[in-house]
Amino acid sequence: MAQPRKLIHISHQTIRWGDMDAYEHVNNTIYFRYMEQARVEWLEAVGYRCNARQEAPVIVHADCSFLLPLSYPGIVEVRMFAGHPGRSSLVTFYELCRQGDDRLYAEGSAKIVWIDPASGKSVSLPEALRRLAAG
């Protein structure tokens, strides 16, 4: 059974010429960058900045299924969803489309774990973040 998902952010990012590979479509590694940028935008929008001196999120797992090739020029729309938050983790899901095209070009996920950088150990997900993801 699929995990319930809540749409939490939409990011629009320019596809750069340098994002393409020898096959003239966006290189597979760049899709992870698009998802990362959406995640960082969302975290910053809700008041969390990645800082090595304070509790912050790290990615412990990421995946992507490439369905259709993206190519330059264009705008990629990244829809970010949150799954049910755990004690210290939150699974996020992503759908990538071309702006103006409803077809799904890629889909992926990333499991975020909140950590204390001093100890390297997981800590409880901030309550405000938990409410945003769940509510």
Any residues with CB less than 8 A from the CB of 43 and at least 6 apart, and which?
A: 49, 50, 57
Domain ranges of the chain: 6-134
Asked whether the whole model's pTM tops 0.75, one would answer yes
Q: Does domain 6-134 have CATH number 3.10.129.10?
A: yes
Question: For 78-130, what is each residue's pLDDT tens digit?
Answer: 999 999 999 999 999 999 999 999 999 999 999 999 999 889 899 999 888 88
- Mean of pLDDT over the chain: 93
Asked if residue 75 lies in contact with residue 15, where contact means CB atoms within 8 angstroms, the answer is: yes
